[in-house]
Homo-oligomer: A and B are copies of this chain.
Amino acid sequence: MKNLTKRQEEILNLIKSHILDLGFPPTRADISRSLGFKSPNAAEQHLRAIEKKGFIKILSGASRGIVLNDSENDQIPVIGLVAAGGPILAEENIEKTIPRSNNLLSSDIDYYLRVKGDSMVDIGIFEEDLIGVSKSANTKVGSVVVARINNEVTVKTLIEMSQNKVVLRPENRKYDDIIVNPQVEELAIEGSCIALLRESI
């Protein structure tokens, strides 16, 4: 899917907000009015270009027949087992995607991670739960983080983080703290866990 030009993106956003506001797409005239075009054909040609790039579909003969091809942008990926090596969000790790629901949970969630194991049960994170992960939320001591240690992805509480010592705590009395020297072992904090979904009880 090719990139849109600035103007084309403007028009796509206009379409989206029109739908959000009123519940149906704009006409060529609506678009022209909004953006100051003096000819409906300006809108028409932009629509054709946007369609050609795969972002919308124009239904011929139907008024307001603009169908959004929902991009992956509106979908939040659910990550199942993370294959060793590659990045978490690699195609092969995506179990499914779920539509981004504006207000239900924080809009900061970049992906959901399906929990494996029982290392976090003491704070109510169970196997098969989906954890909402934000890549941008700042990870401070005390927060639950998604960490990658030597290519293995894990969810733990961040207890200490300094130049040569990082402590990750499983929230389960059965397990011991994980102490890592990031200068010796490969360590990356992938994000913070900010929400939780359990699809069945």
Contact = CB atoms under 8 A, between A and B. Distances in A.
A99 B102 contact: yes
Contacts of A106: 199
Categorize the interface residue count of chain A. Answer: 35 or more
A129 B67 CA distance: 37
Contacts of A125: 124, 201
A182 interface: no
A105 B194 CA distance: 18
Contact of A68 (B23, B59, B105): B23
A31 to B, nearest CB: 14
Interface in A35-90: 59, 63-68
Interface string A162-201: 0000000000000000000000000000000111111111
A17 interface: no
Contacts of A104: 98-99, 101, 104, 197
Given A19-B23, A23-B19, A24-B24, A105 B67 contact: no
Interface of A: 19, 22-25, 27, 59, 63-68, 98-99, 101-106, 121, 123-126, 129, 131, 143-144, 193-201
7 contacts: A23-B66, A99-B101, A99-B102, A99-B104, A106-B199, A121-B124, A124-B126
